Amino acid sequence: MWKSWKFWLVMSGVVTVVGVLAYGFTVNPKFVKSPLLNGPAPNFTITRLGGGETLTLSELKGTPVLLNFWASWCLACRDEAHVLQAAHKLYEEGQGRLRVLGIAIQDTPEKSMAFARAFGKTYFLALDNVAGDISLSYGLYGVPETFFIDAQGIIRFKHVGAVTPQLVRNNLATLLAPNDEGKQ
């Protein structure tokens, strides 16, 4: 038995599995820290879903940005869709003080557009490329994930999971505050 490679293969498999699970005790899966926080938001250029309009993040300097990553297959994205749309209606269309951007990941144009129609999303929506370059540069953990970027292009806050009206209101209050550096 001790000379059987199968024996050692199976045993090392067992040890690996147990080791990985034991490692799980040392980390908290709910806690996702981001080195991007309080640093400059990685730049990207996106094309509007269903239209030719393109947008580059760096050109939005001077306006705070609410950047949301989503997908048509994502369940929590359904819960937060109306919250983001409300922020777009109030602050972007109503007051012109904010840009709301939504980038779909691991998705197809048809499905994400169907989702946007179903949930009445009218703000600037785009699709990340197949390689997921934008989501990689933002160190995405999953969807939905939302970044609050101030007028200087610095990420001030990020949230993993569906956003609530309360959360959006509170964080935008800081981002849009008149005495904020961003409004100078």
Tell me the closest approach of the beta carbon of residue 34 to another protein, in angstroms: 9
Q: At what angle do helices 76-87 and 165-176 cross, to 10 degrees?
A: 40
Tell me the closest approach of the beta carbon of residue 172 to another protein, in angstroms: 20
Tell me the closest approach of the beta carbon of residue 144 to another protein, in angstroms: 11
Q: Structure tokens of 176?
A: 């849009």
Q: Say how far apart CA 34 and CA 100 lie, in whole Å.
A: 21
Tell me the closest approach of the beta carbon of residue 120 to another protein, in angstroms: 6
Helix or strand run (H / E) with residue 45: strand 45-47
* Residue with Cβ nearer another protein (49 or 160): 160
* Residue with Cβ nearer another protein (119 or 152): 119
Binding residues for another protein, per CB under 8 A?
1, 4, 6-7, 10-11, 14, 17-18, 20-25, 27, 29-30, 32, 71, 73-75, 78-79, 81-82, 106, 114, 118-120, 139, 141-143
* Continuous H helices in 30-126: 76-87, 109-118
* Residue with Cβ nearer another protein (30 or 52): 30
| Residue 123 dihedral angles phi and psi, to the nearest 5° | -80, 180
Q: Say how far apart CA 116 and CA 134 lie, in whole Å.
A: 20
* Residue with Cβ nearer another protein (121 or 176): 121
